[in-house]
A = this chain, B = another copy of it.
Amino acid sequence: MSRRPLLLHPERLFPPDPTTRGLAAELYNEVRSLPIVSPHGHTDPRWFADNRAFADPVSLLITPDHYLTRMLYSQGVALEELGVVPTDGTPVAPSRSAWRTFATHYHLFRATPSGLWFDHVLAEVFGIRYRLDAETADEIYDQVADALGRPEYLPRALLERFGIELLATTDSPLDDLDAHSRLAQDGLGRRIIPTFRPDPVVDPTFEGFSDNVDQLGELTGDDTRRWAGYLDALNNRREFFIRHGAVASDHGHPTATTANLASRDCQRLLDGATAGTLTADDLELFRGQLLVEMARMSIDDGLVMQLHPGSRRNHNALLYERFGRDRGADIPGPIEFTESLKALLDLVGNDPRLRLILFTLDETTFSRELAPLAGHYPSLLLGPPWWFLDSYEAMLRYRRTVTETAGFANTAGFNDDTRALLSIPARHDVSRRVDSAYLAELVSTHRLDLDDARELAVDLATRLARRAYRLDDRS
């Protein structure tokens, strides 16, 4: 076998019809170089605060990316062979060996977004000219490892090179946001911002929930075993996050259930939550009540709420036990919004000060519930298709099912939702290409004028995200 060239075709992801392809290329050219706005992501703020060189290709590009590891795991490759370290610290394959294993199985990613992104990273970030496979594995490993040692691959240099205007991280309410403080000292405080993700203190099934609630109280000086004190403490931490630049909170519940209970019931649920005695129904109620409380707080403090229900976390019991959270075994299930959100919407859904961005992993809700809801309630916006749906086909399905009912203005722009820093430009590039392709389709079927398409291309690439997260409103 000889080495095969790695080429990123300039017209990739554009429609085959020549007229429509020409339109797509024209629209894409207007947005390809716009800055990157990334209001929802999972990179580590310490990378940028410390600005140290990344350790090696595998721990940067492969092990943290469960899209990559899950695919090889599904074909019988143990996570240890890919360098993923179990919670008990058992030694695993060294970096080069893990890279070889990955390269040998890289054909599994043909026609997947992961493959598109990874090729983009290799070609555009590292200048690799050959496709990754068993034969080229070592050569490419060396090139990447070598590059990582150079100054232009330090985290802040990449931030600059990628044109990232804003990057949000995701942080525990118990975090001291030290990295963000240090970034602020270096003048990066408005560019890399935290996001308030309260799972550890609002999800009673989270590891150490009860201790977390106590720790929350210690941080704020509130009595978090009392409902009022618990809410005060959450409020305090939200303020703390806002002082560190946060513009949004992030809520990853199993369902979209919301509840509006009497405070006596709330105290009872809190007692049960910290005691670990809540039934499944009460767990739902507790989380649902907290969504309503967060919505109320949002009205006061202006944090944008993001809600993404529907994933069954840590579905694979064996992997969860061995490797812990976020190892790729979060599996979606059916989800319902219309009834579930009613308690919240009845209370605050018509309040223009609330902004609630809804995400889903269940595409059936796009045309059935989410577009009708977002196309009606002033407080609601639709987030982009993401996670398994952050892909060429799913993005097109999203636009085709959502736009006719909700228009463009009720959507929240793109976000990359990733901990894979180097893939951020690739992900925004795919999104801009697909949106250009969709707009080109609208133009070539005479559902949209070209001048409107030009304007909308920029909206979809940057303006809607800035508007959704109120980035331009920041003092």
Contacts and interface: CB of A to CB of B under 8 A. Distances in A.
A391 B409 contact: no
Interface residues of A, number: 89
A19 B350 CA distance: 49
A216 interface: no
A82 B409 CA distance: 19
A110 B407 contact: yes
Contacts of A182: none
Interface string A326-357: 00110111101011001001100110100000
Interface in A8-34: 9, 11-17, 19-20
Contacts of A392: 404, 445, 447
Nearest to A396: B400
Interface in A424-446: 441-442, 444-446
B376 A447 contact: no
A408 interface: yes
A54 interface: no
B349 A407 contact: no
A368 B448 contact: no
A200 B361 CA distance: 38
A338 B315 contact: yes
A414 to B, nearest CB: 17
A409 B75 contact: yes
A408 B76 contact: no
Given A71-B407, A375-B74, A407-B112, A369 B333 contact: yes
Interface stretch (A145-153, A185-193, A235-243, A316-324): A316-324
Contacts of A315: 338, 342, 345, 376
Interface string A357-385: 00001111001110111111110100000
A439 to B, nearest CB: 8
Nearest to A349: B316
A312 interface: yes
Contacts of A15: 16, 445
A389 B401 CA distance: 9
B74 A408 contact: no
B13 A446 contact: yes
B447 A12 contact: yes
A441 B16 contact: yes
A110 B452 contact: yes
B338 A410 contact: no
A393 B388 contact: no
A136 interface: no
Contacts of A371: 388
Interface string A385-422: 00011011110000011011111111000000000000
Contacts of A71: 375, 407
A446 B434 CA distance: 13
B111 A408 contact: yes
A107 interface: yes
A148 B76 CA distance: 49
A109 B404 CA distance: 8
Contacts of A409: 74-75, 108
Given A110-B456, A405-B112, A362 B368 contact: yes
Nearest to A406: B74
A403 B364 CA distance: 18
A194 interface: no
Given A73-B378, A332-B372, 12 more contacts: A11-B446, A110-B448, A110-B452, A116-B447, A315-B376, A331-B372, A332-B369, A334-B336, A363-B368, A364-B364, A392-B445, A392-B447
12 contacts: A15-B445, A109-B407, A112-B407, A315-B342, A316-B345, A332-B368, A333-B338, A334-B336, A364-B364, A367-B388, A393-B401, A393-B404
